[in-house]
Chain A
Amino acid sequence: MSAAHAFLQRLGERVDDEPTWVAARRQAGAERFEALGFPTKRDEAWKYTDVRRIAEGEFTLADDAELDEARFAALDMPLDAHRLVFVDGVFSAALSDLTELPEGVSIEPLTTAMRTNHEAIGGAIGRLAGVDFSPFTALNVALSEEGAVVRIGQGVVVDKPIYVVFASRANESARMSHPRVLVMAGARSQSTVVEHYAGEAGAANFTNVVSEVMLERGAIVDHYKLQEASTEDLHVASIHVEQSRDSRFTSFNLNLGGALVRTDLVTDLNAQGAETNYNGLFFVQGRQHVDNHTLVRHNAPNTFSDENYKGILNDRARGVFNGKVVVKRDSQQIEANQNNANLLLSDRAEIDTKPELEIYADDVKCSHGATTGQLDEEAVFALRTRGIDEQMARGLLTLAFAGEVMDRVRLPVIAERVERAVAGKLPERFNLADLVEVSDALEEA
C-alpha cells in the first residue's frame, strides 16, 4: 500500500453524510492524490524539500476544538479584529468572535457556508487551487473538512482586520488538518486578512492549508500569513490569488516556526492596473527547514509586481527561495521587480535561491536579484565599542536586515511579534516609538 493510499484511509467513515457534489469532489481529490503520490526530490519543485516526514507520519483528524482560554491566550495575538478560530482544524465557536460584523461582510466557517450558501461558494472554492496544482492541494481536496470563508461586498471597507487563527495543540498523538481559506473581495472593497498559524510547544501536527483570494475590480486586500507553529510542526500551504482590473494585493509571508514549512504563493494578474506585492521574511534556526515558492503571472498588459523576500538562517537551518515571474505573450508595459536577500548567521546554515523570469513580451521592465551574506563584523565591532553587548549588537543588525520588509507591515502587533522573535533581546519597540513621538514634539516646539 502506498503512503498516499495509507493517508487517504484515515479519512475513514467521517464524511458519509455529505452532499453528492462534495463527495464527488473529495473523490476526485483522492484519486488525483493517489495518482500523483507524495512529491520526491526528483520533482523539480521539491528538489530541496524532503517531505518524507509527512509521508511517513501517523496523523489523525481531530474530533474536537477543546482549548481552554489560558492555553488559547498564549497563542492568540492581541489584535482588535473579527476573529475566527480553528483548533487542529476544527472550528471553535467559543474562541471566535464574529459579533460585530459590518454590513456587507460575511465571515463563516466553511461548513456553515457550504450549508447555507453553497451556491455562492460552491463554484468559487477550488477554482484557483484544484487538484492539479500539487499533490498537497489534491490531498487537501480529498481530506478538507473545515476552513474560513470571507466574503466582502462591493465598496465595503472592513473596519478591522479579519483574523483567522489556526491553533495547533500539543496532542498525545499527532493530528493533521487540511483547512481551506476562501476570500472573495468585492469590487472596490478594502480589507486585511490575517492567517495565523500558532502552535503550543511540543505540538507535532501536520497542517496542509489551501487559500484562495479573489479580488474583483479595484479591490484592495492586505494578506498576512504569520506562521509560528512549534519547531516540530509540519506545515504546507498553498495560496492562490486572482486579481481583476486595478486591484491591489499585498502579501506578507512571515515564517518563524515549524520543523518543515513549504509555502506556495501564486498570483494571476488578469487585467490591467492589477498590482501584487509580495513581502516575505523567514527566520529559522536549529534544524528548521522553510521553502518558499512564489509565482506571479502577468496575464495582461499594464500589470505590476514587486517582490521582496528576506531570509535569516541560524544553526543548521535550511531555506529555499524560488521566485518565478511569467509575462504572458504580448502583455506589454509590465513592471516586475524581485529581490531575495539572505543572511546566514551560522556556517552550517544553508540557502538555495533561484529567481526565474519567463518573458514573452518586449516592452517590459523586469529586475531580479539574489544575495546571500553574513552580518558585517565591522559593524558588530563598531556597536560594541559603544558599549552595546555583542548579543544586542547582532540583534540590532539582524533586525536592520529584516527592516526593509518589516517597515511595510501595517499591523504593529504583528511587526512587534516578529521583531521580538528575530532580534531577541532588544530595546523595547515601544520605547523606540516613544522616542519618535518625543522627537516630533520637540521639532514642533
Chain B
Amino acid sequence: MLEVKDLHVTVEGSEILKGLNLTVNPGEVHALMGPNGAGKSTLSAVVAGKDGYEVTSGEVLFEGKNLLEMEIEERALAGILLGFQYPVEIPGVKNIYLLKAALNAQRVARGEEEIPAPEFMKLVREQLSFMKMDGSFLQRAVNEGFSGGEKKRNEILQMLVLQPKLAMLDEIDSGLDIDAMKVVAEGVNSLRSADRAILMVTHYQRLLEHIVPDHVHVLVDGRIVKSGDKDLANELEARGYEWVLEESAA
C-alpha cells in the first residue's frame, strides 16, 4: 500500500531523513518509534504533503502511484489521512461543515452523489457517540477551545467518518490521560481491517498497549535502524533507545 524507498528529506537546509525505507501492506498496523529529533514526524508530514519539506531523493508510492506528485487534497482523496499531533484550531468553521465538505469531496471524487443530510447525520452521530463526544461538538468551530483530549478525539472522529485506507497518527497519544487514551485507542482499533493500514508515530510505548502493532520500527537519525514485532516496543520501554543506537553504530 505505502512504499517509502530511500527517502531523503531536508528541512531548512538540514537533512532530517537520510534514506528511509518502509513498506506498509493492507491490514497491517505499524508503529514508528524513536528518540526526539529522529525524524518521526517528518515522514508523516512528507506523506501528507506539508510545505517546507524538500525531498532530495528517493520516492514514496501509494498503491503504486507517485505520492510526491499529488496535491495535498488528492492524497486525502486517494485514502491517506493524517491525524495531527497538534490539531489546528479553525475559528468560524463548524465541525459539521468540515466533516460534510470532506466526506462529499471524497464521494464526488469517486463519482458518487453527495450524501443526503439524514444519512450523513446518522453516520456522524453514531461515530460521535462511539468517540464519547456529545452533539454540541458538531456545532462548535473546529478544535476551537477544545481541550487536548477533545482535539485528539476529534481527529479520530474525522477518521471514523472518512474511513481512510491509510491512517497516519502523529503522536496521537501526547497529552492524553488514560481514559481519553482508551477512547482514542478504541476508535483507532475500530478502523483496523484487512484492507486498511495504520501507521502510528509515537515516542512512548504506552499507546502500543492499547493499539497493538504488527510491526515496530526504530527510527534513529533519519533512518530505520531496527524493525521487529510488538516485543521490540516492550524492549525499548524496558531498556530505552541507547542499546539500539549502539547496535546500529556497531
Binding site for B on A (CB under 8 A): 376-379, 381-390, 392, 396-397, 399-401, 403-404, 427, 431-432, 434-439, 442-443
Decide: A435 and B96 in contact? CB cutoff 8 A. yes
Contact B92 A403, beta carbon cutoff 8 Å:
yes
In the complex formed, the residue of B with least CB distance to A406 is B92
Question: Are A383 and B117 neighbours in the complex by a CB distance under 8 Å?
Answer: no
Could you tell me the distance in whole angstroms from the C-beta of A281 to the nearest C-beta in chain B?
13
Q: Is the CB of B92 within 8 A of A385?
A: no
Contact among B73, B91, B114 for A388, CB-based, below 8 A: B73
Write out the residue numbers on chain A whose beta carbons fall within 8 Å of the beta carbon of B72: 381, 384-385, 390
Residues of A within 8 Å of B82, CB to CB, are 385
Give 11 A-B pairs besides A390-B71, A442-B125 with Cβ atoms closer than 8 angstroms: A377-B51, A384-B73, A387-B73, A387-B109, A388-B101, A390-B72, A390-B73, A392-B105, A400-B141, A401-B92, A432-B100
Which B residues contact A (CB, under 8 angstroms)?
Answer: 48-51, 71-73, 75-77, 81-82, 84, 87-93, 96-98, 100-102, 104-106, 109, 114, 117-118, 120-122, 125, 135, 138-139, 141-142, 158, 162
Point out the residue from A378, A385, A443 that lies within 8 Å of B81, measured CB to CB.
Answer: A385
What secondary structure prevails in chain A residues at the interface with B? helix
Q: Which residues of B contact A385 (CB under 8 A)?
A: 48-49, 72-73, 75-76, 81-82
Given A431-B117, A439-B96, decide whether A387 and B105 contact each other with a Cβ distance below 8 A. Answer: yes
Q: Which residues of A contact B122 (CB under 8 A)?
A: 442
Residue in B51, B77, B90, B96 whose beta carbon sits within 8 Å of that of A387 in the complex: B77
The residue of chain A having its C-beta at the shortest distance from the C-beta of B107 within the complex is: A387
Q: Are B135 and A443 in contact (CB under 8 A)?
A: yes
Chain B residues, Cβ within 8 Å of A404: 92
State the Cβ distance, A434 to closest chain B Cβ, in Å: 4
> Which of chain A's residues have a CB closer than 8 A to the CB of B125?
439, 442
Expressed in whole angstroms, the minimum distance between the Cβ of B159 and any Cβ of chain A is: 10
The residue that B92 contacts in the complex, of A386, A400, A434, A438, with Cβ under 8 A, is A400
A389-B104 Cα distance, complex, nearest whole Å: 11
User: Which residues of B are found within 8 Å of A437, using beta-carbon distances?
Assistant: 117
| A432 and B104 alpha carbons, distance in the complex (Å) | 13
Chain B residue, CB-CB nearest to A443: B135
Main secondary structure on B side of the interface with A: helix
Give chain B nearest CB distance to A369 CB in angstroms: 16
Residues of B near A442 (CB, < 8 A) are: 121-122, 125, 135
Return the 5 tightest CB-CB contacts between A and B, nearest first.
A400-B92, A387-B76, A386-B102, A384-B72, A434-B117
Q: Which residue of A lies closest to B103 (CB)?
A: A387
Report Cα–Cα, A392/B77, bound state, in Å: 15
Given contacts A385-B48, A386-B162, A387-B102, is CB(A400)–CB(B93) below 8 Å? yes
Query: B121 touches which one: A389, A401, A435 (CB < 8 A)?
Result: A435
Cα A442 to Cα B138 with chains together (Å) = 13
Contact B118 A379 (CB under 8 A): no
Most buried by B among A381, A382, A390, A427: A382
Residue of B nearest to A432 (CB): B97
Asked if residues B117 and A435 are in contact (CB atoms below 8 Å), the reply is yes
When A400-B90, A403-B92, A439-B96 are in contact, do A387 and B117 touch as well, CB less than 8 Å?
A: no
Contact of B118 with A438 in the complex, beta carbons under 8 Å:
yes
Residue of A nearest to B48 (CB): A385
**In the bound complex, do residue A396 and residue B93 qualify as a contact, i.e. CB atoms below 8 Å apart?**
yes
- Pick 25 A–B contacts, CB within 8 A, sort by A: A379-B88, A379-B93, A381-B88, A382-B90, A384-B71, A384-B72, A386-B76, A387-B106, A387-B109, A388-B73, A388-B101, A388-B102, A390-B73, A396-B101, A400-B141, A427-B100, A427-B101, A427-B104, A431-B117, A437-B117, A439-B125, A439-B138, A442-B121, A442-B135, A443-B135
Known: A384-B73, A385-B49. A379 touches B135 (CB 8 A): no
